[in-house]
Structure 1
Amino acid sequence: MNLVTLSLSNNNFSGEIPISPLVAMPGLQILELAFNNFSGSLFNSISNLTILELLDLSANRLSGPIPHSICTQSVSSLKVLYLQDNYFSGSIPDSLRNCTNLVSLDLSFNLLSGSIPASLASLSNLKDLIMWQNNLNGDIPAELSSLKSLKNLLLDYNNLTGTIPDGLVNCTSLNWISLASNRLTGSIPIWIGKLENLVILILRNNSFTGSIPPGLGDCKGLAWLDLNSNHLTGYIPPALAKQSGKIVSGLLVVGRRYVQLSIGNNSQCHGTGSFLEFDGIRSDDLMRMPSTSYCNFTRAYTGFTGDNLRNNISMLFLDLSYNQLEGHIPTEISTMQYLMVLNLEHNRLTGPLPENLGDITHLGVLDLSHNMLEGRIPASFSALSLSGLDLSNNQLSGPIPEWGSLATFPAYAFENNSGLCGFPLPSCNSGSSSRDDRSQLSSTNHQSFQSWRIALGLLFSLFFIIGFVIGQFVEQILVYFGCDYVSVLY
């Protein structure tokens, strides 16, 4: 049979994959069986499809080990291997190094264990190395530095240890580095600032120490920076704003599906949420993530990254929360005009709130809580169209500005600032008893409002990203208010 392409994805097929009829098709180049209910193991005889270029078995119920025979030919034709969202276990076969033409490898959302094979470094054409949500351990192989074509390195939610290999500075095509929720240590490498094509950097929930490298401001396209829940010290570098207005056209994060998980109240997880690559994964299978329960993910927003950045604008998302940062909030942050989420909560920041933060006209979520900030809330904050605000647990004083979006937030957003007064706190000439009564009343609605605030703020931010990455913000305003998918996880 001379069949070249067989695409049976998005059906309700079940049982084992009918391997015998498939291997009777020696001319098969593309085999797509994704989003079905196939179960059982992946047979060794799959290697008999010697000219197969694309194998997509994602989003099924396959289990057992990944066959070592999958790339037994000395020269394999396979370019795309998608096995994500299954139940594959065991180690990653070293034989994958024989897939010398492999461009995209996605093994995420399985039960794989062991280390990442250093031999993958021989795949000189590899652009996508995606293995998030497994049980992988050990170091990130230093040998990966030879992958000059690598664009996406996504290893979140594993048990990886050690440091980020310095050799990755040679992977100058990197667009997306996501290493969240591992056990990585050491400092954030200074050389990351040399990756001029980097758009997304997510190092959340590790054990990184030292200061934030000012050189990150040299990443001309850095739109998403999430460093929350580490052990970072020192000051917030004003140089992070260096790339403001300098994001250049043509930086690619091509058509990848993503999911943004909103973290609910009373969660053991910190920060604003989790941003994950989501190609080939069922939305319902998010409940398989162990972190779903203890992080209290309440909502998932999904969409597709676009193919270029047409405006010369600045960072969209900045989360440095739950670290040990100190000093003042740099006034330079106000030049990041398209910043949608700014989360600096749970640090040791001091000094006044910068007056010019009110100039960030697109800011949707602002969380500066649990610091040691002092002085008045600038009147310019009234110009912000905020959907989420938390200035609580600081040392702020004076009246709360009475107009704009600040008037829409309950007392908990301002509480535990001994000198603050005015709505929604007691008026500036009232007694402390009134303040106590008002605080007690606001705490009744705190949990539900907090969840709503974060979800709405993230949705607002993600709507912007969806609209922005597929075209100019003003011209795509209708896309800005569109979302590919919204689900409630509880």
Structure 2
Amino acid sequence: MAFQFLCIISLLIFLSLPFSSFSKTEKCNPHDKEVLLKIKESFNNPYHLASWDPKTDCCQWYVVECDRETSRINDFHLFAANVSGQIPPEIGDLPYLESLTFHKITNLTGNIPISILKLTKLKSLTISWTNISGPIPSFLSQLKNLTLLDLSFNSFSGSIPSSLSQLRSLGGIRLDRNKLTGSIPESFGNLTPTLQYLYLSHNQLTGTIPRSWGDLNFTLIELYRNRLQGDVSFMFGKNKTIQILDLNRNMLQFDISNVVFPDSLTFLDLNHNRVTGSLPQGLTQLSLQGFNVSYNRLCGPIPRGGRLQEFEYTAYFHNRCLCGEPLPNCK
């Protein structure tokens, strides 16, 4: 009985101790927590950030992540949140951020704050599907560690900053679905060789494509629904690595007859341009998954073989005198 009594007394003493005395030590850096709470306040304390309780460890909060070694906030990912206002300038006070995302937040407005330049460790910047507007700031070129820049599906206007070509670590750029005008900067002819994909579609870009792109080895380029002009045959070549090229709904004009396509090409869309000549036999050697040359000025028979006859007639119709399966037979 005495032993049982002592066990009960010990248990009561243990339970009476403050919870913090046997709970895990909080990992969150106090400075980072203070900054996050200011960001929450700037967004008027939305329900989406309800887990941001100052009494809890910010490394466990929704939207953010901590680095395992430093316990500093290194990832901020605000997605499909019902928040309103502008990007808080305090976001620049999270010095260990490597990835910053604002995605599918239609009530996010204003401009990109210059305080973002303080994020010297930033590798990935995504601001997409928002109503952020104004010109794309040229100061983004100072974020030298960026490997991804995604500013798609916003309301950016003005021209593309030529200084973005100074980002030599980029693997991909997305500026599509904005209101950008002017020409593709000449400096984009000197984009880093590490750049694998480039999206500039659904803007109001004019002028020609930089000739020096013929020396780069992209994997994917989307430039459709702009007002681009000129010859793009230099984008092709037997030793190129391009896989997906979508240039539809521009005003491009060149003779396709003698173009040599790379073996890597799996998707080519040139519809609604001013392409002339006849389709080259080399197209039959490609493993095409998508192909469209409709609404151009092509003539002659569609080469037989490969996958060219597998596409619908809509991939070929509305040309000057193109003929052969899947279009009507040549006369």
Q: TM-score per shorter chain, which class?
A: 0.7 to 0.9
Q: CA 1:364/1:29 → structure 2, altered by over 3 Å: closer, same or farther?
A: same
Q: Is the 8 A contact 1:215 1:240 kept in 2?
A: no
1:14 corresponds in structure 2 to none
**Which of 18, 22, 25 is the aligned partner of 2:23?**
25
- Residue 41 of structure 1 and its aligned partner are, at CA, apart by 7.0
1:348 corresponds in structure 2 to 251
Q: CA 1:23/1:161 → structure 2, altered by over 3 Å: closer, same or farther?
A: farther
- How far apart, CA to CA, are the structure 2 residues paired with 1:354 and 1:373? 10
Q: Is the 8 A contact 1:218 1:242 kept in 2?
A: no
How high is the TM-score relative to the length of structure 1?
0.55
- 1:148 equivalenced with 2:120 (yes/no): yes
- How far apart, CA to CA, are the structure 2 residues paired with 1:422 and 1:242? 35
- How far apart, CA to CA, are the structure 1 residues paired with 2:49 and 2:301? 66
Matched to 1:363, the amino acid is L
Q: CA 1:368/1:23 → structure 2, altered by over 3 Å: closer, same or farther?
A: farther
Matched to 1:243, the amino acid is L
Q: Mapping of 1:127-276 within 5 angstroms?
A: 127-134=98-105, 135-216=107-188, 217-244=190-217
Unaligned runs of 5+ in 2: 1-17, 29-46
- Residue 398 of structure 1 and its aligned partner are, at CA, apart by 1.1
Q: Mapping of 1:407-426 within 5 angstroms?
A: 407-426=309-328
- How far apart, CA to CA, are the structure 1 residues paired with 2:51 and 2:316? 60
Matched to 1:234, the amino acid is G
Q: CA 1:210/1:405 → structure 2, altered by over 3 Å: closer, same or farther?
A: same
Q: Could you give the per-residue CA deviations for residues 22-53 of structure 1, whole angstroms, max 9, x where no partner exists?
A: 998351438xxxxxxxx997266x3234xx46
- How far apart, CA to CA, are the structure 1 residues paired with 2:304 and 2:66? 60
- Residue 332 of structure 1 and its aligned partner are, at CA, apart by 3.5
Matched to 1:27, the amino acid is T
2:59 corresponds in structure 1 to 54
Secondary structure at 2:104 match in 1: coil
1:42 corresponds in structure 2 to 50
- 1:326 equivalenced with 2:255 (yes/no): no
Q: CA 1:350/1:141 → structure 2, altered by over 3 Å: closer, same or farther?
A: same
Q: CA RMSD in A?
A: 2.7
1:103 corresponds in structure 2 to 74
- Residue 181 of structure 1 and its aligned partner are, at CA, apart by 0.8
Q: Is the 8 A contact 2:278 2:301 kept in 1?
A: yes
- How far apart, CA to CA, are the structure 1 residues paired with 2:165 and 2:238? 19
Q: CA 1:230/1:159 → structure 2, altered by over 3 Å: closer, same or farther?
A: same
Q: Is the 8 A contact 2:252 2:274 kept in 1?
A: yes
- How far apart, CA to CA, are the structure 2 residues paired with 1:21 and 1:337? 64
1:13 corresponds in structure 2 to none
1:304 corresponds in structure 2 to none
- How far apart, CA to CA, are the structure 2 residues paired with 1:40 and 1:373? 50
Secondary structure at 1:155 match in 2: strand
- Residue 136 of structure 1 and its aligned partner are, at CA, apart by 0.6
Q: Could you give the per-residue CA deviations for residues 399-434 of structure 1, whole angstroms, max 9, x where no partner exists?
A: 1111222122221111000211111112211xxxxx
For the pair shown, the structure with the greater C-alpha radius of gyration is 2
**Which of 114, 118, 126 is the aligned partner of 2:97?**
126
- How far apart, CA to CA, are the structure 1 residues paired with 2:166 and 2:325? 47
- How far apart, CA to CA, are the structure 2 residues paired with 1:23 and 1:162? 52
Q: Is the 8 A contact 2:257 2:278 kept in 1?
A: no
Secondary structure at 2:122 match in 1: coil
- 1:117 equivalenced with 2:88 (yes/no): yes
- Residue 335 of structure 1 and its aligned partner are, at CA, apart by 6.1
- Residue 383 of structure 1 and its aligned partner are, at CA, apart by 1.5
- 1:367 equivalenced with 2:269 (yes/no): yes
Q: CA 1:23/1:192 → structure 2, altered by over 3 Å: closer, same or farther?
A: farther
Unaligned runs of 5+ in 1: 1-19, 31-38, 59-69, 71-77, 81-99, 245-314, 430-490
- How far apart, CA to CA, are the structure 1 residues paired with 2:159 and 2:328? 45
Secondary structure at 1:331 match in 2: helix
Q: Could you give the per-residue CA deviations for residues 246-274 of structure 1, whole angstroms, max 9, x where no partner exists?
A: xxxxxxxxxxxxxxxxxxxxxxxxxxxxx
Q: CA 1:22/1:201 → structure 2, altered by over 3 Å: closer, same or farther?
A: farther
**Which of 70, 75, 79 is the aligned partner of 2:66?**
79
- Residue 371 of structure 1 and its aligned partner are, at CA, apart by 0.6
Secondary structure at 1:412 match in 2: helix
Q: Could you give the per-residue CA deviations for residues 256-309 of structure 1, whole angstroms, max 9, x where no partner exists?
A: xxxxxxxxxxxxxxxxxxxxxxxxxxxxxxxxxxxxxxxxxxxxxxxxxxxxxx
1:406 corresponds in structure 2 to 308
- How far apart, CA to CA, are the structure 1 residues paired with 2:198 and 2:174? 6
Q: Could you give the per-residue CA deviations for residues 421-467 of structure 1, whole angstroms, max 9, x where no partner exists?
A: 111112211xxxxxxxxxxxxxxxxxxxxxxxxxxxxxxxxxxxxxx
- How far apart, CA to CA, are the structure 2 residues paired with 1:149 and 1:41? 24
- How far apart, CA to CA, are the structure 2 residues paired with 1:408 and 1:79? 50
Q: Could you give the per-residue CA deviations for residues 9-34 of structure 1, whole angstroms, max 9, x where no partner exists?
A: xxxxxxxxxxx98998351438xxxx
- How far apart, CA to CA, are the structure 2 residues paired with 1:43 and 1:384? 52
- How far apart, CA to CA, are the structure 1 residues paired with 2:78 and 2:324? 54
- How far apart, CA to CA, are the structure 2 residues paired with 1:145 and 1:416? 50
Secondary structure at 1:197 match in 2: coil
Q: CA 1:421/1:41 → structure 2, altered by over 3 Å: closer, same or farther?
A: closer
- How far apart, CA to CA, are the structure 2 residues paired with 1:153 and 1:41? 21
